[in-house]
Structure 1
Amino acid sequence: MCTVCGCSDAKASIEHTHDHSHDHSHDHSHDHSHGYDHSDHHGYSHDRHHHHDHAPGDGGLVDCSANAAGQQIAGMSSDRIIQVERDILGKNNRLAADNRARFRTDDVLVFNLVSSPGAGKTSLLVRAVSELKDGFPIGVIEGDQQTSNDAERIRSTGVPAIQVTTGKGCHLDAAMVGEAYDRLPWLNGGILFIENVGNLVCPAAFDLGEACKIVVFSTTEGEDKPLKYPDMFAASSLMLINKIDLAPVLDFDLARTIEYARRVSPKIEVLTVSACTGEGFAAFYAWIRKRVAQMKPTEMAVSG
């Protein structure tokens, strides 16, 4: 097991669009080689320095970072563990910077939606893109370990979506996002939503080139989630507390949840929403439009 996450030789499959009008070329003089073996048109072999040393015949994963005994079993020193982590995140961060430059050139605002499984991230996104699509060009990149169910739900709204199936991988990375972005129609002046794999741990460490992370938290998860998974809440600019319509029947303490989140990240913004009833979405859209307005002066200054 690498020290960043539990992915072991994960193979991602990025969906090929059959409608070629959705394919476009972001030729901004970038090297788009992400270290994938393209010999298989649907399977990508990650060359991301994921060197995993396991005990002979262990048949599984060893948490090398847990303690010295675990390191001895895996045959890895602390120095090697640190170096592997640096290699993984260093390469990802370079590709994320490439993505960010491409998004800036295309004048695209990118949000990385993260949550635990079942928080209602997809339902929230389906409502949001349905109601925003007339005001902005919108595209979606969907990340899941298996199935294209969520991408199909997004497409049913008329918004283009590309599915990234990560297999054993527990998060999206910058290379996957760059490949998927190439398969979307041009979103000039629009918004790209990235729905990450349901996981409150590993996606916190991986920059995808987004403007910011939005953590979707459900009232059904318990108030202490920000304290249990502090890295994710610290990395997010906005916390959307979803399923707020259920709060009265769950004995949910909203004030305590917000206090815990701000204990981890004092500047995090918080909005309450219900993907089911639409409550709070007007405030969410106002937040998005504010981010769009903040981006425009920067883009004009760069172009000037």
Structure 2
Amino acid sequence: MCRVVELKQSVLARNDECALALRTELAARGTVVVNLLSSPGSGKTELLERELTLARERGVPVAALTADLATEHDAARLARSGVPVKQVLTDGLCHLEAHMLRGHLDGWLPAETRLLFVENVGNLVCPASYDLGETLRVVLGSVTEGEDKPLKYPTAYGLANLVVVTKTDLAAPAAFDEAAFRANVVRVNPGVEVVLTSARDGSGVGTVLDRALAALEGGPVHRPVMARPAPHRHEDGPGHSHDHGDGDGGGHEHGGGPHLHPAVSVR
């Protein structure tokens, strides 16, 4: 068992090295990465479309890469913003890694891009362990998911530079307790900003873009105090094994290993 943990620590260490190199490389060309994490159905894509549209209207050179297990639906939706968009199909892999992101940027990312928004796979477990070279990690949770999500997914929320609450237009029918949610966020990530948004009625739209632009200009970014935990391993049955950090992804093996479909660019 110790050898497995050491192997996964080595995998994460290599990812961190690649992430650092990517962050340094992009910073040299004046580009900042914003990594968006959430559960499926949080409204992440709809809010991101609004943020990208606003960036284009403001004349900010932005691009977006969206990752999903299957379908190109998210890329098609984001492309309505009029900015460069690329879809990555992971075919079952539950997260992006730094080397994967770098590979998909080569030959695609426009040279003038100042902000690159990465919509990670819809999952609050696996993606939390992997640095993608981002400057700003944004974790989103909808009012319909409940107030206890920060406690159930402490690594995802605990490593966030910004927390965004989505679908606030549904807060009343969902009986969302904002005070309880904020208190739970404080328990896992003291000092992180919590932003309330609704892509439907427009409230809070533009805040993520504003925070990203501030980071691009060298402004202060919240630094979480949580350290990423060591990974562990569990077996799912013949031919399937999963390695995770805190329940976070250390990579998934499915029979012959993970598979990636070619990325699809949409303009």
Pair in the same fold by TM > 0.5: yes
Letter matched to residue 148 of structure 1: E
The match for 1:146 among 49, 56, 70 is 70
Change (3 A) 1:183 1:217: farther
Change (3 A) 1:189 1:147: closer
The match for 2:41 among 100, 118, 123 is 118
Give aligned pairs, total: 219
From the two aligned structures, give the one with the greater strand fraction.
Answer: 2
Following superposition, the deviation at residue 160 of structure 1 comes to 0.9
Letter matched to residue 79 of structure 1: C
Tell me how far apart the structure 1 counterparts of residues 178 and 116 of structure 2 sit (CA, whole Å). 30
The match for 2:30 among 107, 121, 145 is 107
Asked if the contact 1:164–1:176 (Cα under 8 Å) also holds between the matched residues in 2, the reply is: no
Following superposition, the deviation at residue 189 of structure 1 comes to 5.6
Equivalent residue for 1:290? 214
Following superposition, the deviation at residue 272 of structure 1 comes to 0.1
TM-score calculated relative to the size of structure 1: 0.69
Tell me how far apart the structure 1 counterparts of residues 193 and 219 of structure 2 sit (CA, whole Å). 18
Equivalent residue for 1:88? 11
Asked if the contact 1:222–1:252 (Cα under 8 Å) also holds between the matched residues in 2, the reply is: yes
Equivalent residue for 1:260? 184
Equivalent residue for 1:238? 162
Tell me how far apart the structure 2 counterparts of residues 132 and 111 of structure 1 sit (CA, whole Å). 14
Letter matched to residue 155 of structure 1: A
TM-score calculated relative to the size of structure 2: 0.78
Q: Give the number of the structure whose alpha-carbon radius of gyration is greater.
A: 1
> Unmatched 5+ residue regions in structure 2?
221-267
Following superposition, the deviation at residue 88 of structure 1 comes to 1.4
The match for 1:128 among 51, 60, 68 is 51
Tell me how far apart the structure 2 counterparts of residues 159 and 252 of structure 1 sit (CA, whole Å). 34
Equivalent residue for 2:123? 199
Change (3 A) 1:81 1:227: same
Asked if the contact 2:148–2:181 (Cα under 8 Å) also holds between the matched residues in 1, the reply is: yes
Letter matched to residue 258 of structure 1: R
Which secondary structure does the structure 1 equivalent of 2:133 belong to?
coil
Change (3 A) 1:89 1:161: same
Matches within 5 A, 1:222-233: 222-233=146-157
Which secondary structure does the structure 1 equivalent of 2:117 belong to?
strand
From the two aligned structures, give the one with the greater helix fraction.
Answer: 1
Please identify runs of 4+ aligned residues in structure 1 that moved more than 6 A: none
Letter matched to residue 155 of structure 2: D
Q: How well do the aligned residues superpose, as a CA RMSD in angstroms?
A: 1.6
Tell me how far apart the structure 2 counterparts of residues 183 and 261 of structure 1 sit (CA, whole Å). 39
Query: Quick one: higher RCO (CA 8 Å, sep 6+), 1 or 2?
Result: 2
